[in-house]
Structure 1
Amino acid sequence: MNRFTSRLLAFAGLLTVEVIFATVLFVVAFVLFFYMARVVFVHHSMALDTWASDMVDGWQRNWPGLHGPVRFVTFFASLPFLLPASIIGPLLLYRAGHRREAKELVLVMAGAVLLNQLLKLYFNRPRPANAVLRTFGLSFPSGHAMLGLTFYGCLAWLLARHFGRPGWAAPLLLWAGLIGLTRVCLHAHYATDVLAGFAGGAAWLVLFRSGLKLFWKEEKAVLGEEII
């Protein structure tokens, strides 16, 4: 009876504000992703994509010098940046003694890359024909949006939760959002690709974090039982 009670209390302990927020965020992201997929592949609607494309084209007509900064910003979620960053970052964390955080960053990025490529292959949407920047691969969901949100979102979480720097969370997430916007500006992706990428990245990050937290809690409990 005591064991049952202790397990029940341990489960209740998981129902924190953090877990409730994560659950709500996952559901919202999940719904948004499949709504975007339905808009594109079921209703075949281009209304949102056309509106967003016309809007960013207007920005670039009004500010001709915008192209350079846009290309600069978009680099920070490209493969030439994220690949070394996803290796160097964890190495620095590992050397600083933050081994779990280092493993977390490696695993979350590896999983995001794999998931993004599987989704692209499944939906098989070609990229916009009028791309300003030469791009390869498929379009839905945007890899820059999904991987950018995963990388900077994970950094935001680590800084806030483990390093006592919650003030970095908002700038990092805004930066990830700005990167996604550059993909529309460059016509490398449709707006629906970018929104789906954000949703997929958020859902994956929440799912990964929740699974990791449960795994580490279970691992700790098992070690505790062995010691007892």
Structure 2
Amino acid sequence: MKTLTTKLLKLLGLLTVEIVLVSVLFLAAFVVFFYLTRIVFEQQSGALDEAAFQWMDAHRAQWPALTPWIRGITFFASAPFLVAAAILLPAGLALRNHRREGLEVFWAIAGAALLNQLLKTHFHRLRPDTALLQQYGLSFPSGHAMIGLALYGCLAWLLWRHRRHPAWAALLFLWAFLIGMSRVYLHVHYFTDVLAGFAAGLAWLILLRAGLHLWWREKAILDEEVTD
């Protein structure tokens, strides 16, 4: 009995730390997003965006062979890829008896995509006129950065939760970062678009995790009541 109590206290302590860390991350993401909206739409400062473009342009001029690779990287958060991922990944996880994980992945993509369109419509920022490839739609926040972080962040969390090589989880976050930065390299998004996309994607991922956790917890309680 004493051993069980000790284990429960330790588990409660871990959950408390997790809740605090997640809450801090969500608050930080919200503050960053809000701060970026002030820089872009109230102060109308383009210094950060211009500095990022100049840095990217210098590297593109120095290593022109990078451009095809960057175009390849940016594909992995493009609309065709995300539609395929939203269908195939949940289906594959469901076939392996991971339906909850499949649902998480689906809503990570679909929810982030919907929220991104709502934010773009609200802020209505036009894309840079120096883009290296033609892109349609609005600019703030970057969909590639936002939905990419939601997708790969969700996959990273699932790998971490199932203890399958935490290093892969870190690599997935790095991959999402590279995808976002590829948009600045190609001049299809401003740097502030990408930063806002990362912040919004992280916030959505945290809200999704919290919402699904509460939903499944409530469902489990209701199932127990029906069984009793």
TM-score clears 0.5: yes
**Equivalent residue for 1:5?**
none
Aligned to 2:132: 132
Deviation at 1:78, TM superposition (A): 0.5
TM-score (norm 1): 0.92
Tell me the residue number matched to 2:175.
Answer: 175
Does residue 49 in structure 1 map to residue 27 in structure 2? no
Aligned-pair identity in percent equals 56
Cα distance in structure 1, aligned partners of 2:40 and 2:181: 19
1:72-100 C-alpha deviation (Å, 9 max, x unpaired): 11111111111101111111001111111
Work out whether 1:118 is the aligned partner of 2:134. no
**2:5 matched to which residue of 1?**
none
- Superposed counterparts of 1:70-219, under 5 Å: 70-162=70-162, 164-219=164-219
SS at match of 2:76: helix
Could you list the per-position Cα deviations for residues 105-150 of structure 1 after superposition, in whole angstroms to 9, with x for gaps in the alignment?
1122111111000000000000000000110000000000001000
How many Å separate the matches in 2 of 1:182 and 1:118? Answer: 23
Q: Which residue in 2 is equivalent to 1:4?
A: none
Q: Secondary structure at the match of 1:138?
A: coil
Say if 1:161 and 1:178 are closer, same or farther in 2 by CA, change over 3 A.
Answer: same
- Report the residue type matching 2:106 in the other structure: V
**Per-residue deviation, 1:217:** 1.1
**Aligned amino acid, residue 72 of structure 1:** G
RMSD: 1.5
Q: How many matched pairs?
A: 218
Equivalent-residue separation in structure 2 for 1:64 and 1:109 (angstroms): 32
Residue identity in the other structure for 1:64: P
CA distance in 1, matches of 2:217, 2:16: 14
TM-score, normalised to structure 2's length?
Answer: 0.92
Once the two structures are TM-superposed, the CA of residue 66 in structure 1 deviates from its matched residue by 1.3
> Is the partner of 2:188 in helix, strand or coil?
coil
Q: Deviations over 1:156-178 (max 9, x none)?
A: 11111135342211000000000
Q: Where does the alignment leave 5 or more consecutive residues of structure 2 unmatched?
A: 1-8
Between the aligned partners of 1:73 and 1:27, the Cα distance in structure 2 is 30
Which amino acid is the alignment partner of residue 107 of structure 1?
A: W
List per-residue Cα deviations over 1:160-216 (Å, max 9, x = no partner). Answer: 113534221100000000011110000000000000000000000001101111111
Aligned-residue offset at 1:32: 0.5
Q: CA deviation at 1:59?
A: 0.4
Task: Report the residue type matching 1:167 in the other structure.
Answer: A
2:34 counterpart letter in structure 1? F
